[in-house]
Structure 1
Amino acid sequence: MRTVRRLLYRDIVSSVLFVALAFLSLFFFIDFVDELADVGKGYTAFHAALHSVLELPGHLYELVPIAVLIGTIYALSRMAQSSEFTILRTGGLAPGRALSLLAGLGAVFAVLTFVVGDYLAPLSERAATMVQTRAKGGFSVGGSGAWLKDKSMTPQGERSYSINVGRATSGGELANIRIFEFDANGRLLRRIGAGSGSVNQDGVWSLADVTLTDWSTVGAPDFQPSVNEEKRPAYEWASTLPASVVAAAVLPEKSMSTLELFRYITHLADNEQAAQRYEIRFWKRALYPLACLVMVALALPFAYLHGRAGGVSLKVFGGIMLGISFVLLNNVASHLGLLQGWTPWIVAATPSLIYLLLSLAAFSWLVRYR
């Protein structure tokens, strides 16, 4: 059985690597052409190429299950066409044993997917963001910026804060910062506006070019609020927000690992902010490596199709269509789950579960009736 395992694994791994390399080359070309539109004013073709290269680990994370499906279908179809798989079956390779062998290889690909998605892709995504930031002089954080919330207890009572960050500078600092302070009754007490700033590891915000605007009823006639405005070159504001949470809000979602997503979701829940979009992404990130197991199970029935049932190219085309349909269903389920308010882990698990049941049904039918 060791020889059979070596034969299967060698052919499948080489096919998966070839498919992954082909797809990565295509995505690099598409990304590079897209980045060329921004070339100019400090952003050169070298920056565009470097940014496209740094995007490849993220593409690899998304492509591994699809490459596993297409590569496994190609390898098994070629073995079936040359009667190699028939000889293996005659030699004692039972369907259950074949499924367990492919499941072991699928587990290896699942571990690879997890490592790439949780460690390599976030690091490369942050590096790609920094390349754009330094070359273009910064990047905006969405149309309205990134919003965060914080709470603290003071001698005057509970205080809540709404923080808005407009953009990030080329030096890695935050810019266009606005901090609104409210009391326990929701009344606006103070506004802190800063041109730039950074967050220390202890949660202290070091702000520059600061404008402090205070609303106070103390000493005002008829309790009408008075407005006091003060400008300072520097100001330090203490917060309970860790630097990792601030980075998660400012940087693209793809740059967050599973653990960082969980921490950010916890922060949103503690401050009563909507977190379902991040919860769906968290469960998709946690369950996505298991899609490799589903893909090898989906590819195994192709080994039991006779060579006359279609050539290798036709079966590979069918595998590509299956892969595209899986990606489409995965994305549609995420959007529908967000719109309908469905349970996040069910939304993330449903596409893989549907394709797993489909693969097992096809495998059982082929083994029993063909």
Structure 2
Amino acid sequence: MNDLSLNAQAIILLTAYFNKGDKPLTIMEYSKFASWLLQNNMKPSDLLELNAREVLENWDDTKITQDRILSLLSRGNAMAISLQKWQNCGIWIITRADPEYPVRLKKRLGQKAPPILYGAGNKKILNTKGVAIIGSRDASSDDLDFTFKLGEKLAQSGYSVVSGAARGIDESSMLGSINADGTTIGVVADALMQKVLSKKYRDAIRNNNLVLISPYYPDARFSAGNAMGRNKYIYVLAESSIVIHSGLKGGTWEGAKENFKNGWVSLFVKKNDDVNSGNQKLLEMGGLELKDLDSLDYLFTTNQDVKTATVSKKEALDKRILELLSLEKLTLKEIAEKLEEAQNIVKKTIDELLNSGDIEKHPTSPLRFSKAIKLPGL
């Protein structure tokens, strides 16, 4: 615990699980509280350096009560015991306040980025250029062989593999990359401590070729909710993505749809003849067909001109809306009128800016929007 800053310790106390029955702040609860601290020229470490009750004097929230925050902050002994146990297994923690925190998570998720990440291995890999490999747990042997070779090819081409460290496609892509001495990011949904100690990953972690991370505490058991929730982190940590095999429901399917909705990265799909798979449907929804593996540079350049033009137009509208809302609080209709844009187009952009935390609803007039105060490093 000595190498953790007071800021990091406060964030961990507020958001981490140590014992059964703990009720730490959720991602959005922490972001709301951190925003209030920032607005009042304070930071999380003030809760440990100063009198916490005095710091919280003007904080008022029916769900995130002062007593709840004070109770979370009183878990110092439990934190020290847990940190020592995790450290003994080679597990570290980074917070949104730390410089090692992945840049893409902050940039693409905003206030929805996890306040803390547990991990093991080379942190520098988190900011390398990588390709997300996604697919079913119960994949065919042909798909598993293909995925292993794809992992090798990505490594040989200088790209990291980003996957979910689960049985099936995930594991095959990661082991292929490791076999070719490549760099690999595994986003773990459960049992991080067990995976860190497993023989299949231990040497790669020791050799600085692999980093395993998780937004869930290292002893977490499997849950469908966590498995679904971590899918977005696989996409946002990468610069492109490939679906090897998807069903018409489940984690791979939902993760691909979420990526389409948010436009995080290009999504390539391996074509197949399986009528029960969702691959063809993903292609019809806008996925790009995965071609030969002779050169993988096209994963980052295909359709780039169209994509750039679309992004530029969107960024221009984002900027105009943010400029307006930095000056006054406006309704959706007022924003559309001032910008001379269709209301449905403005509404879509407003929803995206709300989700990213760039704007917020006015607390006393929820139909009006204003520019949010950003959270640098919190």
Bigger proportion of residues as strand: 1
Q: TM-score normalised to the size of structure 2?
A: 0.25
Specify the structure having the higher radius of gyration (Cα): 1
Q: TM-score normalised to the size of structure 1?
A: 0.25
